[in-house]
Amino acid sequence: MALTVFSTRNGSNLLTRLNPFAKLVCLILLSASSMHADPIQLASVLAFILVLSAIIRMPLIGYLKQTPSLPLLTAFIFLTELAVTKSMKGSFFEAAKFFYLIMLGMLMMDTTAPDGLAASTGILLSRIFGRKAWSFASDVMLTLSMIPRIFSTSRTMLQARRARSGSFLAHPVENLSSYTLSLFSMLMDDLRDYDLALRCRLYDPSAPRAAEGYRMADLYAIIISLVAFLWTRLF
């Protein structure tokens, strides 16, 4: 089976056992830590994320091979920063920061099912907004479920174009416009099929759903993320 970036793998590991909302809090704190980090701090938190991805055996190389746009974007950020600032160190720092944020997103989506995150979010917000919170949680689930579909559909279309010996370089503007329109059309078809499947199961977006409970491991994860944030923010 082909790997799809930002999709959830089946299995049990250190991160899958954490509460989805606790992981969301950690994601926000760790993402915010990159805003004020210096090169040494960024290298430290990036190394921590890479070690964590290795511990849970996240197929990082497979994800990057299946989605070459991510390393290309990283290289593009490096080259544009280098052209503007003429600083090798600063350009590498900005590219590393982008890669760090991508790694956080990969870890989050690799170990967190969209319905689990939606349920954990809904059960907390429902205490303030009532049943409207569950409708919002359903929108979150639908949105997160579509992210891996975007990458898988894009990859399928590119493979089909290569099989027909199609090249973007021949007529780049025309081919890019055609590719974009076809991609959106296929995504809308997928979204419609997903909506019909939910309707056939009599899915009620505003209905309360059971969510995972919290454990001490969730508190430890949040504390570690908070320490990383404060370290980059205050020192």
**Interval 107-140: pLDDT, tens:** 999 999 888 998 898 888 888 888 888 888 888 8
- Who wins on pLDDT, 8 or 224? 224
**pLDDT score, position 1:** 46
Question: At a CB cut-off of 8 Å and minimum separation 6, what does 49 contact?
Answer: 30, 100, 103, 104, 107
User: Three-class SS of residue 89?
Assistant: helix
**pLDDT score, position 166:** 59
* Helix, strand, coil % over all residues of the chain, rounded to 5: 75, 0, 25
Which residue type does 45 have? V
Chain centroid to Cα 94, Å, comes to 19
CB atoms within 10 A of CB 110: 24
Per-position b or e across 156-193, b if 16+ CB within 10 A of its CB? eeeeebeeeeeeeeeeeeeeeeebeeebeebeeebeee
Query: For residue 52, which of 17, 13, 85 has the smallest C-alpha distance?
Result: 13
**With bands split at pLDDT 50, 70 and 90, how would you rate the model's confidence at 82?**
very high
94: exposed, middle or buried (C-beta count within 10 Å: 0-12, 13-18, 19+)?
middle
Do 66 and 155 meet the contact criterion of CB atoms below 8 Å apart? yes
Query: For residue 107, which of 67, 54, 70 has the smallest C-alpha distance?
Result: 54
34: exposed, middle or buried (C-beta count within 10 Å: 0-12, 13-18, 19+)?
buried
Query: For residue 211, which of 112, 129, 144, 132 has the smallest C-alpha distance?
Result: 112
Give domain limits for the chain.
20-234
pTM, entire model: 0.83
**pLDDT score, position 26:** 96
Query: In what helix (H) or strand (E) does residue 175 lie, and over which residues does it extend?
Result: helix 172-200
And the tokens for 122?
A: 């809904």
And the tokens for 204?
A: 């009620």
